[in-house]
Structure 1
Amino acid sequence: MLEALPITNIFAIIIVVSSIILLIYFAGKTLITSNFFQTGVNLYQQKDYPGAETAFRKVISLNSTNDVVRLMLGDVLTQQGKTAEARTWFDEVIRRSPKNPQGYLRLANLLMQQNQLEAAKTNLQQAKDLLQKQRQPEKAAQITHILDKISAKSS
């Protein structure tokens, strides 16, 4: 005759099965997100900006925490002349990750394209300061060089 499983064993089995199901779900979601991201990068490199935009928006809908995708979407929008929306994405990265110099650099680039040099300088200076704090002196020196060029133009 079969003995009844103790209640603790049933709970343990339920927990293990639930964990495995969650692991499979998140692994699948990560794989799908990764595929959309790679598609977006490939389309961007092929200069298919509308296609890349669609792929990056899909990644954001699946994984709302990825700032790299937000930066890439901003770049794609910039390439399409959708500068106001691109700026919104760069501003969001800055708001979400104020210690990420890439948001400031992308926004500065957009502002330079719009000939808003003072605002661009402010963002470049912020990026430079962050890069120095992050011990990336070569990149900070490159930004100093750009700042010097902008200052020479302004004079």
Structure 2
Amino acid sequence: MFKKHPSIYIIAAAISLACSSALSPTHAASDIPGTKQLVRGIVTQDLEAAGYFQQGVNSYNQRDLDIAADAFQKALERDPKIAPAHFYLGNILNEKGRTGEAIAQYQQALALNPDLEEAHYNLGVIYYQQGQIDAAISAYERTLAINPENSYAYYNLGAIYYQLDRLEEANVAYRQTIRLSPENADAYYNLGIVLEKQGQLEAAAVAYQKAVEINPNLAAGYNSLGNILSRQNQPEEAIAAYKEAIRRHPNDPSAHYNLGVILYYQEQLKDAVRPLKRARDLYRSQGQTSKADEVDLLIQQIEVLRKQPRR
């Protein structure tokens, strides 16, 4: 889990609000429009090589990857200095899981054209997936040096900085993403996570609210908003947020759990049991047996309290 909430003690058990998910994932290489666009301008003076290259681009855009790869190879046999052909081959090899060969093709493309933005970006994605974090950061920084308007690179840098606990840099990266892509709900959601960890709860709540306004189906946004409202002692608003999270994603155990916990604190013991049982069953069905057992223990403790005479 990327974010944790302070422990909330109930009877003898330490219970904390659950997170439905961590940061929204980084954008993959195939997400960036430049990876599929037709290359503009003349790529080679060799007409036969140019013909093979265009065949490759057409086949690539039609998702005929094997035919595209063959065409790009033939183009490079005629003219090895066609940087975009190396780039497209890198994309194809990467999609086939041959990342080592993909890296070599991207590097060859950059040796021929150091300003090929998409190649730097795609290398950043691969390096990140391989755990080469410093190399990924460098690749994204090179991407932005070429094109400061690349929101995808800022978004992925934000995720990396967060994982490195470089929160202020993550904050800046996500704000840059939002500046360039104001309808990016995931960027607002991730910014909310960063702000929450920085202790800026009101700003985090605003970010989560904006995320769900843009994408009403972002259940994790409602769940995280509920957690903040709970910490701000706004139980009714938190309950409404958790219920909305459940409506959007009925099989997320954390939202059911959080609803049960806050109902307990409102001394609505009978109402608390139902969502807690649902959370327990979902955790168990999803293979999270230790969490299911913890919730089951809490249910048992609440049932004991319900049987005690009220004072």
Q: Considering the TM-score relative to the shorter chain, is it more than 0.5?
A: yes
Aligned: 1:146 with 2:298: yes
More helix by share: 1
User: Aligned pair in 2 of structure 1 residues 62, 137: CA closer, same or farther (>3 Å)?
Assistant: same
Query: 1:66 aligned to 2:218?
Result: yes
> Within 5 Å, which residues of 2 pair with 1:56-95?
56-95=208-247
Amino acid at match of 1:108: G
Q: Which residue of 2 aligns with 1:131?
A: 283
Q: Secondary structure at the match of 1:71?
A: helix
Alpha-carbon distance in structure 2 between the residues aligned to 1:31 and 1:61 = 10
Select which of 99, 102, 111 maps to 2:254. 102
Identify which range, 124-133 or 40-49, moves more after superposition.
40-49
Q: Distance in 2 between matches of 1:143 and 1:118?
A: 15
Partner of 1:41: 193
* Equivalent position amino acid for 2:200 in 1: D
Q: Measure the CA separation in 1 of the matches of 2:245 and 2:188.
A: 20
**Superposition RMSD in Å:** 2.8
| Unaligned segments of structure 2, at least 5 residues | 1-57, 62-148, 153-179
Question: TM-score of the superposition, structure 1-length normalised?
Answer: 0.73
| Distance of 1:105 and 1:30 partners within structure 2 | 32
* One-letter amino acid of the structure 2 residue matched with residue 128 of structure 1: R
Return the offset for 1:65: 2.1
Shift of 1:112: 1.2
**Given residue 73 of structure 1, which amino acid in structure 2 is its aligned partner?**
L
Q: CA separation in 2, counterparts of 1:61 and 1:95?
A: 15
- 1:53 is displaced (CA, Å) by 0.8
**How many percent identity over aligned positions?**
26
Runs (4+) of structure 1 exceeding 4 A deviation are none
Query: Counterpart amino acid of 1:82?
Result: Q
Farther-moved stretch of structure 1 (124-133 vs 36-45): 36-45
Point out where structure 1 has 5 or more consecutive residues left out of the alignment.
1-12, 17-23
Task: Quote how far apart the aligned CAs of 1:32 are.
Answer: 4.5
For each residue in 1:61-112, what CA deviation from the matched residue of structure 2 results, as whole angstroms up to 9, or x when unmatched? 2322211111001111111222212111111121222222112111011101
How far has the Cα of 1:31 moved from its partner? 8.9
Q: Which has the larger radius of gyration?
A: 2
Length-normalised TM-score, structure 2: 0.39
Q: Please state how far the C-alpha of 1:29 moved relative to its aligned partner.
A: 3.8
Aligned residues: 134
Distance in 2, Cα, partners of 1:101 & 1:118: 19
